[in-house]
Amino acid sequence: MTTDPIRPADLTVDGTGLLCVTLLLRLRKQIEDAPAGTVVHVIATDPAAPLDLPAWCHMVGHDYLGPLPGSRPVYGIRLTANARATRADAPWHPASTSSRG
């Protein structure tokens, strides 16, 4: 079995010093116009990041690539075309699909 090497980042999101809630807000904003296939490296120092990032990726449908080797806490994500939208103010909640008239 072979594994694909993780590509260099197309986009880096620096969440140094941020709690995961704020990190996800920043991440969602910075990837909002990025195309599918974009590899994002997320710098995250919050101890909850190794749990929250894969859970968020699973929820929205992006590919979580895992922690990357190196001295900094960096995690890889590959954006997918079929990702589910989330609320801009709460990226852990699905975007509303209904409209009010």
37-55 pLDDT, tens digit per residue, is 999 999 999 999 999 999 9
Work out the angle at residue 93's Cα, subtended by the Cα atoms of residues 26 and 98, and round it to the nearest 5 degrees.
Answer: 120
Taking the CA atoms of residue 15, residue 94, residue 10 and residue 4 in that order, the dihedral angle to the nearest 10 degrees is 110
Residue 80 within any structural domain of the chain? yes
List 13, 18, 20, 74, catalytic entry: 20
Mark whether 20 is an active-site residue: yes
Residue 33 within any structural domain of the chain? yes
Residue 95 within any structural domain of the chain? no
> Domain span at residue 46?
11-84
Grade residue 30 by pLDDT with cuts at 50, 70 and 90.
very high
Phi and psi at residue 12, to the nearest 5° = -120, 130
Residue 45 within any structural domain of the chain? yes
Residue 1 within any structural domain of the chain? no
Query: What is the model's pLDDT at position 4?
Result: 57
What is the CATH classification number for the domain harbouring 66? 3.30.110.40
This model's pTM is above 0.75: yes
Tell which wins on pLDDT, 100 or 72: 72
